[in-house]
Chains A and B, each alone.
Chain A
Amino acid sequence: MSEIIQKVKNLSIGFRSKKGEEILILRNISTSIKKGETVGIVGESGSGKSTLALAMMGYVKQGLYTTEGECLFYHSNLLKMSNRDLEKIRGRKIAMIPQNAGQSLTPNLKIGYQIDEALKLHTNLSKIDRDNRISELLNKVRLPSPETIALRYPHELSGGQQQRVAVAMALAGNPELLLLDEPTTGLDVTTQAHVLELLNFIAKDTGTSMVYVSHDLGAIAQVSDRIIVMYSGEIVLEGPSRSILKKPIHPYTYGLLKSIPKLSLAGLPESMPGSQPQPGTVLKGCSFFDRCNLRENKCKNNSPQLEYINDLETSVRCFNYKSLKDKNHISSPISKNETSIKENEILNLTDLSISYAKQKLIDQILNKTVDTNPTVKDINININKGETIALVGESGSGKSTILKSIAGLLKTKDGKIRFEKDRDLSSDLKKRNPSDLRAIQLIFQNPDESLNPNHNVEEILSQPLKLYFGLSGEKLKKNIIELLEKVRLGEFYMSRYPRQLSGGEKQRVAVARAFAAKPDIILCDEVTSALDVSVQAAVLNLLQKLKDDFGTTYIFVSHDLAVVRAISDRVAVLYQGRLCEIGPSKNVYQFPSHPYTEVLLGAVLEPDPDIKPKLVAEDIVEEKPPEQGCSFQGRCSRILGDKCKKETPPWQITKSGNAIKCHININDLEKLQS
């Protein structure tokens, strides 16, 4: 085999708590990275994966310290090296690509200058050579017209382009090892697929070893040769990616893979209960004990060691791995109650347009509309009682904008929002009556921000109960306890503050707060995208359960097509604030589809090394919707020519009953896409 370039030996990293106890973040990690190999490190937030990646470049975050072990790059221990020696290695031998490239680029320096700085530092090239090298690097990361990109400032590039620049900068010193910390997490699905494909290409082309840290098994599956699964600061499973993903013999990985919603399967994924033990919890036995299905008495008091299994070339930290060896983790997901939704309209959006452009005073007086090309335009959707409709699209597709205007937080420009057939909802929140306000509730993406950090759970939940039902005293308390039980949290959570809850628990509280109002419609804005996969499945299951119990209607906004597939009855695909396709979810996920839906579906990453994303269109970012013609004309790979650019495409209904807004004949589309 090829040479080992990075070796981690018995590494433990920890910090000292206020009480003086030593708390370990990483526990006895040993692994190695070979030349030219891509290793994926996967784990939930708090599993220590980033700490491990940083240690691999000799960096330990402030407040943490190495308690034991070493990180050897070739034969020198990075953790004992002086800063001066480390400077010679960082950037030249080991480079890092951060999660948020937008924040890691200096905003007031041109792209070319920033790459030049890296080149000056790490190479001895002359000015002319460096200029050539900048073009070469930008070309390598597939940025269009490198000469012009080099003269731009970071804010003039899209998120995907910024990430590419970060890759180019990391490659400037010709590193032997590239560390990537969640490099695609903040990006759109299509962009993410393109960046991953680029990374794959670079790994092959330059022979650079890569360490890819991510919580997303789908992304890891696309790039890695080998996968390390971390849990609570330990390696629980390590081996070739194929055997890890196809035969996950550790119960954690097994559960994790089961909890990922997949495009190929309708219905909700199984969830994994519980959460990771907090750092500092004294554990005698296995750290996964609390959440494990295979636990035995033995696991409680004895900690399993990493054991190497020859036929799978995998190391596993579990006593009972054998029982998982022959089990198939891709079992059928929990089927949803496919209740036939009756034609019972609860919300109707007619010709909805929303504009962010400010009206000038003179135009306001003259009652003149200036913005002929609003952010969201011509949205017509009927929503039936008890149905889950998903709005899907990339960032900038207007999905959250529509949600906000339904909630009354954003004024509409044109069109009507009709509630329960007979009432028009005003787009001004203050003009809505209390019962309409109560009927529509919101759940947000990030529970850290949607819960007041200075209120405990009791105070948080009492807000809607006091406001809408005027409850107080014992009655209020009883209601709060009931709500908490509904979201499967106990009474003792009442006195806790958001900071004392895990991400999943916080989101449950947010869900409980929405349900406190006994709403008819709940607007879910990316409610699972800030959560870990295992928690995401639990929240999705909870939402489905509550919906079955109360008959609530969900409007579900998400960029994740697999999640949408799992939870929704109907899907509306949006591009640049215009509808592209709408229909029952099982039809939307089959061809023929709108060319944009096709792009989105192709870019979904499945946790399976055999399913590669299909990159149909370029991931160009358009800032404004086109003035006329089809909204997707700029990126469509099946564009017909002038017709698409000038005429607004008609709605066509497929045999299965979904509507597609495209000039291409349905039958032709079907032929093209099959």
Chain B
Amino acid sequence: MDIDKISEEDQKNIISKVFEVLKTMASKPSGFIGLCILVFHILLASLSPYLAPYDYKAIDPSLMLQAPSSEYWFGTDSLGRDVFTRTIMGGRTALTITFFGSLIALLWGGLLGIFCGLVGGKIDDVVMRVVDAFLSIPWILAMLLIVSLLGTSTEVLIPALGFFYGKGIVRVARAATHDVIAKDFIVSARARGHSNMSIIWNEIIPNVRDAILVEGAMRWSWMLLGFSSLSFLGFGVSPPTPDWGLMISNARGLMSFAYWAVIAPVVGLSSLIIGINLTADAFAKALGIDRSTKAPV
């Protein structure tokens, strides 16, 4: 092993480290495909207003349920709107809301889990039982309750989704912390008299960060599915904003003769979820062989 070479690698800044992780992820076919799908969706979501050939809310009864043609690539829906336009824009809301939702889930779930893992004792017991209690409530019922009380605005959806998807992260973060706090370097920091905050920040987070990030990436895809289910049930995005869940719900009844109005959003939604899942998997593998566990040779 060339020690000096590896030291240089470690001195690279954070950007090149991220780049290196991305490179490792892309080196496996599954990771490469996942990344491609994810990047494609993100680009599509951000550029779709400029790419869309028609207005997404332009209703024209004369164009009702047209089959795909050179003019309307994916056909039109029951209100005569262009399915292609609505499909490429249908991921925008879902992606944004779930992205910020998972960030919130990561933050509160991760920090609470680490805190409980470190402190232990009665506080840990109480918090974990409360988390368990919440885990036993079907989230969709709770979400429906929240949404019907507070409305379906973004300010309600993001924290609510973040809360319900963070519960699982609490457990993961707590377990990862338990692995770390048994190590002597935590005992050493305690014996020196560092505060809990300082121990969490300096000693624990660097060692559990990877596990929590991967868990967060997985939650993102679950949350996306959850959010689309809400839209499907009519509690997510309000019409006429295009959304896959909503589109599937609207076109579902006409599926037997206007299949195109269903297929396009289904493909959009499932490909994004597959993309995120593959990326999260590759991310986990890339981090797993990186950093502390990397073999010296």
Interface residue? A621 (CB, 8 A): no
Q: How far is the CA of A437 from the CA of B297 in the complex (A)?
A: 40
A454/B184 in contact, CB under 8 A: no
CB contacts (< 8 Å) of B13 on chain A: these are none
Interface residue? B6 (CB, 8 A): yes
Interface residue? A442 (CB, 8 A): yes
Interface residue? B119 (CB, 8 A): no
Interface residue? A17 (CB, 8 A): yes
Within 416-458 of A, Cβ neighbours of B (below 8 Å) are at 429, 432, 434, 437-438, 440-442, 444-446, 449-456
CB contacts (< 8 Å) of B206 on chain A: these are 452, 454-455
Interface residue? B194 (CB, 8 A): yes
Shortest B169–chain A CB gap in Å is: 20
Within 1-46 of B, Cβ neighbours of A (below 8 Å) are at 1, 3, 6-7, 10-11
Q: List 23 A-B contacts (CB under 8 A).
A: A278-B3, A408-B191, A437-B192, A437-B193, A441-B192, A442-B191, A444-B187, A449-B185, A450-B184, A452-B203, A452-B206, A453-B207, A454-B207, A454-B292, A463-B192, A463-B202, A467-B193, A467-B194, A495-B10, A496-B3, A499-B292, A499-B294, A517-B192
Shortest B110–chain A CB gap in Å is: 16
Selected from A280, A429, A449, A453, the residue in CB contact (under 8 A) with B191 is A429
Using a CB–CB cutoff of 8 Å, the interface residues on chain A facing chain B are: 17-18, 23, 278-280, 407-409, 429, 432, 434, 437-438, 440-442, 444-446, 449-456, 459, 463-464, 467-468, 492, 495-497, 499-500, 513, 517
CB contacts (< 8 Å) of A18 on chain B: these are 297
| Per-position 1/0 for B154-169, Cβ under 8 A of A | 0000000000000000
Shortest A467–chain B CB gap in Å is: 6
B296/A500 in contact, CB under 8 A: yes
CB contacts (< 8 Å) of B6 on chain A: these are 500
Interface residue? B189 (CB, 8 A): yes
Using a CB–CB cutoff of 8 Å, the interface residues on chain B facing chain A are: 1, 3, 6-7, 10-11, 183-185, 187-194, 198, 202-203, 206-207, 291-292, 294, 296-297
Contact status of A17 and B297, CB under 8 A, knowing A278-B1, A452-B207, A500-B6: yes
Shortest A46–chain B CB gap in Å is: 11
Closest Cβ neighbor of B3 among chain A residues: A500
Closest Cβ neighbor of B11 among chain A residues: A495
Closest Cβ neighbor of A510 among chain B residues: B188
Q: How far is the CA of A76 from the CA of B187 in the complex (A)?
A: 53
A279/B297 in contact, CB under 8 A: yes
Shortest A433–chain B CB gap in Å is: 9
A449/B184 in contact, CB under 8 A: yes
CB contacts (< 8 Å) of A495 on chain B: these are 7, 10-11
Shortest B173–chain A CB gap in Å is: 16
CB contacts (< 8 Å) of A437 on chain B: these are 191-193
Closest Cβ neighbor of A460 among chain B residues: B185
Selected from A442, A445, A452, A500, the residue in CB contact (under 8 A) with B7 is A500
Shortest A528–chain B CB gap in Å is: 15
CB contacts (< 8 Å) of B183 on chain A: these are 449-450
CB contacts (< 8 Å) of A492 on chain B: these are 7
CB contacts (< 8 Å) of B185 on chain A: these are 449-452
Closest Cβ neighbor of A523 among chain B residues: B191
Q: How far is the CA of A513 from the CA of B203 in the complex (A)?
A: 15
